[in-house]
Amino acid sequence: MLWHIKKVLHCHFPDLSDRLSGLSDPRKGADYTVEEVVMAATVLFLLKCQSRNSFNLKAGDKPFQKNYHRMFGLRPLHADTVNDLLEKLDDKELEELRCRLFSSLIEKRVFHKFRFFDKYFCVAIDGTGAYNWNENPPEDIEKYALRKESSKGKVSLFSLVLEAVLVCNNGMTIPLISEWVANDGQKFDKQDCELKAFKRLAVRLKDYFPRLPLCLLADGLYTNVALMDICQKYDWKFITVFRDGNLPSVWQEVESLLPLEADNSVEQTSGDANWWYTYKYRWLKNIEYQKHELHWIECAQENEHRKTKEKTDNRFVFLTNMDVTGANVASLLKAGRARWQIEDHFNTQKNRGGVLHHKFNRGCFKAIRNWHHIRQLACMIGELVEYCQTIQEMLRQRAKMTLKELYENLNSYMSFASVDQAIDEFESWCISPMQVRLE
């Protein structure tokens, strides 16, 4: 893991040090540089530390300090020092840092072989709950928090964040932009919501990546004319979940056209050691809805156990503005179903080391946003590390080993061993560097 972290930083982010040094420093007379501060926060998330205190315990040990300096060329520092800067730093700078780093990966064609249809970068959009504040959060938090009232009149406050995440056809997820679903700190008549936040996020997504061919993947909440208008304006494609009851006029047209378009169907079968899978695809083209031309696609999946003959079934329905044919309908359904990867991304960030629910700051909303930006930056680096071919091959060969165990071993190594030999070998490797090959 240490070797591959160094390889990813060296090959994919060679100018990370310069970019961190270029961040503004609102402090006066600071003992640590901005680069040291932001890198310490990044390493905190890379090592899956559960809190500022757990990182402080490591940073106080001499072996860890020595290994950290040898590995990153910087001094480890107390997480409270990190927090002090993040309370002052403009969060737009860290957002721009994340996007510029991703743009550099696009320029290097790192993700090109993981595109859908060999062209589109599929970006899943969804929101997730981040923090619960109960009834009496600090004043700076209360100004931005959303309010929820129970049937008994009890008011609770919470924070929600909307994410745009690149989903690759190998399972990799790379966070791009975060938009907090939050009130503006002023007196309001209506609360912020995911759909309002999506409109703000879409503007910045287009600003940062104006020429990137995007296909948005979203759940049924976003199957509305607002998303269609945005995709038409920005020349984006979309595939959204189409639930029963959504857009009733479209469903009426679908039900009236299906008997007339019986030829628009394809059936495929496949299997593994235990199950047979049958996929029945249907589609309808050129459905008009508020000046938009939509295509309806459906997959009815039937599963049969080879031995027990047990049967299960699933049904998936989507709307899209991408042309549908018998040749590509299966690929469109596969891309639409890839939206679930953002759910797995949220699960990783909440339950597999991302500690999304942990409050790294409890009183400053700007600091909360900055901590989150650094969490997502570390997630980008971590995904590139974890999907290296060597790491994936090791996990396949050692079926009982997990990524969690690898990170635990890395933490132990950093705290109790010496990285000198590994870094010496890495520096020799850098003389004639090889590529970082992704699974």
- Tell me which amino acid residue 370 is: N
Q: Look at the pTM and tell me if it is higher than 0.85.
A: yes
Going residue by residue through the chain, which has 439 residues, state the pLDDT in tens, using 9 for 90 and above: 888 999 999 999 999 999 999 999 999 988 999 999 999 999 999 999 999 999 999 999 999 999 999 999 999 999 999 999 999 999 999 999 999 999 999 999 999 999 988 899 999 999 999 999 988 889 999 999 998 888 888 888 999 999 999 999 999 999 999 999 999 766 556 789 999 999 999 999 999 999 999 999 999 999 999 999 999 999 999 999 999 989 999 999 999 999 999 899 999 999 998 999 999 999 999 999 999 999 999 999 999 999 999 999 999 999 999 999 999 999 999 999 999 999 999 999 998 888 999 999 999 999 999 999 999 999 999 999 999 998 999 999 988 888 889 999 999 999 999 999 888 888 888 887 677 888 7
Return the pLDDT at 217.
Answer: 97
Return the pLDDT at 245.
Answer: 87
Rounded to whole angstroms, the Cα distance separating 59 from 130 reads: 27
Return the pLDDT at 76.
Answer: 93
- Check if the beta carbon of residue 316 is closer than 8 Å to that of residue 299: yes
Give me the residue label for tokens 């990285």.
Answer: 419
Angstrom distances, CA of residue 56 to CA of 51, 59, 64, 402: 9, 5, 11, 26
Long-range contacts from 306-314, C-beta under 8 angstroms, 24+ separation: 306/271, 306/273, 306/274, 306/275, 306/276, 307/274
Rounded to whole angstroms, the Cα distance separating 54 from 32 reads: 20
Return the pLDDT at 190.
Answer: 75
Return the pLDDT at 401.
Answer: 87
